[in-house]
Structure 1
Amino acid sequence: MPIITRELNVLARCGNQFRGERLKALSLTAAQAPYILHICTRPGRSQEELAAALHVNPSNAARQLARLCELGFITREAHPHDKRQLAVYPTQKAQDAFPLVRGVNAQWHDYLTAEMTEEEKAQLEVLLEKLRRRAALWNETRGDLP
């Protein structure tokens, strides 16, 4: 496995464990945290829009959203512009959890970058953004790799 992929996988797995431990008291999993962040900052999006924004399979998004609904973090209502779709809205419980989820993400970021200079952090952000754009392009087009 190429080193970039391996390193990104380790970062993702460790980050999920970190978030999972800290969000357990809220009855949230690490996989649900991005949904809380997106739904609280962009209420009223459809399930399909959320899946696309999070780069996840729509069926996975539907399962996570169903669980968040069961836990009382979200509500799903008929989309105001397309009654065939469901729009997702945060409940007060999600609004209350939102700053805690953001705080956990900030703690992880601060921990990871604690030994970096400001210049190194800026360089890393630029490089990661390049990788993210390429990954998102593939995800959107499912194009063949060269």
Structure 2
Amino acid sequence: MFKIIRTIGAATRSIQTVSNETFKPLGLNNNLFIYLIRTVEQPGMFLGELADSLQIDRTTSFRTVQKLVKLGYLELKNDQQNLKIKRVFPTTKAKELYPQLHDYEQQSSDVLLKNLSTTERNQLAKLLDKLNI
């Protein structure tokens, strides 16, 4: 059973290594690009929703969002009904970069899954959904 977890871990580290190198010139290493992808795809999430969607603790997520705000990729706006809630929106800079980020994500998926048939990919997706993450 350890082989499964180790294989998942190896795949994750491999993707992270390449992505960190690819996006470092943009200040998006350490997986910061993932925040942009989620925010462009779901603009207006409140900070807790974003953290939960990335499965990252809220304090780390908040610090990361602040960094991305300083870099000009994200902006925070008060919720109209509850001023205690901050919502996260992509800037034009993030929206313009999104196609490159999406292409990278697609290429990484294609490389990782290239030896699986469509049926096997569907099976893998169903099995991964069952994991306690």
Partner of 1:21: 21
**1:128 shift after superposition:** 1.5
1:79/1:85 contact within 8 Å kept? yes
Structure 1 position 66 matched with structure 2 position 105: no
Partner of 2:40: 40
CA distance in 2, matches of 1:118, 1:105: 18
**1:30 shift after superposition:** 4.6
The one-letter code of the counterpart of 2:38 is: H
The normalised TM-score by structure 1 is 0.83
Taking only aligned residues, the RMSD between alpha carbons, in angstroms, comes to 1.6
Partner of 1:55: 55
Count of residue pairs the alignment pairs up:
133
CA distance in 2, matches of 1:119, 1:49: 32
Equivalent residue of 1:109, what SS?
Answer: helix
The one-character-per-residue Cα deviations of 1:13-47 (angstroms, maximum 9, x if unpaired) are 11111211222233212521221111112111111
The one-letter code of the counterpart of 2:106 is: A
CA distance in 1, matches of 2:118, 2:39: 31
Where in structure 2 are the equivalents of 1:50-129 lying within 5 Å? 50-129=50-129
**1:108 shift after superposition:** 0.6
CA distance in 1, matches of 2:56, 2:80: 24
Equivalent residue of 1:25, what SS?
Answer: helix
Partner of 2:7: 7
CA distance in 2, matches of 1:32, 1:17: 13
**1:12 shift after superposition:** 1.1
CA distance in 2, matches of 1:115, 1:56: 30
Structure 1 residue ranges (4+ consecutive) displaced by more than 6 angstroms after TM superposition: none
Unaligned runs of 5+ in 2: none
The one-letter code of the counterpart of 1:73 is: Y
Unaligned runs of 5+ in 1: 136-146
Q: Percent identity?
A: 26
